[in-house]
Amino acid sequence: MKTAQRIVCALAILASVFAAAPHAAAQSYPSKPIRMIVPSTPGSPTDVMARLVAQNLSASIGQPVAVEPRPGGGGIIGTKAVINADPDGYTLLFTEGAKHLMTPALYDSVGFDPVTDVTPVATAGGGSFLLVVAPSLPVKTVKDLVEHARANPGKVNFGFGQGTLPHMLGETLKHTAKVDISSIPYKGGAQAVADMLGGHIQMNFGTTATLLALIKQGKLRPIAVTNDTRLPELPDTPTMTESGFPNLTLRYWMAVWAPPRTPAAIVEKLNGGIVAGLKSPELAAAMARAGFEPMPIDAKAMPGFIASESPKWLAVAKTSGVKGD
């Protein structure tokens, strides 16, 4: 009987030790460098944003945060690497939030759920897309564009980076408006913009960071913004909702994620460091120069934000009909 009692007591002590282990680990976190995996190519907007956030997070938590680009497979390779990592806060994912949430709609079998198989840590920043046309096209509004496309089926060329958010926005516009606009895929959005300036395509969706300077130079004409309100830089450019397409009122955003089952205390510490950086004038100014806006969200509010964004972007992916490579 005494032996049984000793075993029960030993098990109880062991259980308490294991229960306390995550808390103890969180208390000492971080005690070594952190990897931030970016499933995009070096120099991409996501990579640029990741480096800005990593630099400020490192200063906040007192450990190096190394950005590790791991492109390939439409972001799946880098994302899986984080999902399969130890949930100790030393391997993080930095990715374009909307693209991450749409993964199941873009690929037939990805092997993970983008909501339940990762732990949301913090949003970083984002912005709006602009719908622009070539100045040579005789349209000044989305309504004009739709009417012109209907009168000239197949003669308006829409350029985009294959499988990107602008690709999906354009295809969703075409589907919703029921117009015949020719889709011209490129390896990246920059090539599409170059061909637009060269007169080969007449329509493009792009970020303010990419297009605003060209608009101010008169090389492109903005006809709508995907933001829910008009942009201060372009007060005369209506929103997609004002233009009759509320399903295209969407903002892109980037976020940090951790492996599943990462302790809440570690998530909160990371979130606190990231949010503090996003509220600093220095980081806000650096992001503005790169064409981004800070998006600080508290750790406890992250699940609700993800839950509200996921259905909107999945609907866009489904409507657009775009599939991953």
Q: Domain 128-248 in CATH: superfamily?
A: Periplasmic binding protein-like II (3.40.190.10)
> What value does the CA radius of gyration of the chain take, rounded to a whole number of Å?
23
Fold of the CATH domain 33-127+252-320? D-Maltodextrin-Binding Protein; domain 2 (3.40.190)
* pTM for this model (two decimals): 0.82
**Calculated CA dihedral for residues 172, 308, 70, 37, nearest 10 degrees:** 160
pLDDT tens track of the chain, all 325 residues?
A: 454 455 445 444 444 444 444 555 567 899 999 999 999 888 888 898 999 999 999 999 999 999 999 988 888 999 999 999 999 999 999 999 998 999 988 888 888 999 999 999 999 999 999 999 999 999 999 999 999 999 999 999 999 988 889 999 999 999 999 999 999 999 888 899 999 999 999 999 998 888 999 999 999 999 999 999 999 999 999 999 999 999 999 999 999 999 999 999 999 999 999 999 999 999 999 888 887 899 999 999 999 999 999 999 999 999 999 887 6
Distance CA 93, CA 237 (A): 35
| Contacts of 245 by beta carbon, 8 Å cutoff, 6+ apart | 142, 173, 176, 177, 224
The structural domains of the chain, with segments of one domain joined by +, span 33-127+252-320, 128-248
Domain 128-248 in the same topology as domain 33-127+252-320: yes
Distance CA 174, CA 183 (A): 10
Distance CA 271, CA 120 (A): 9
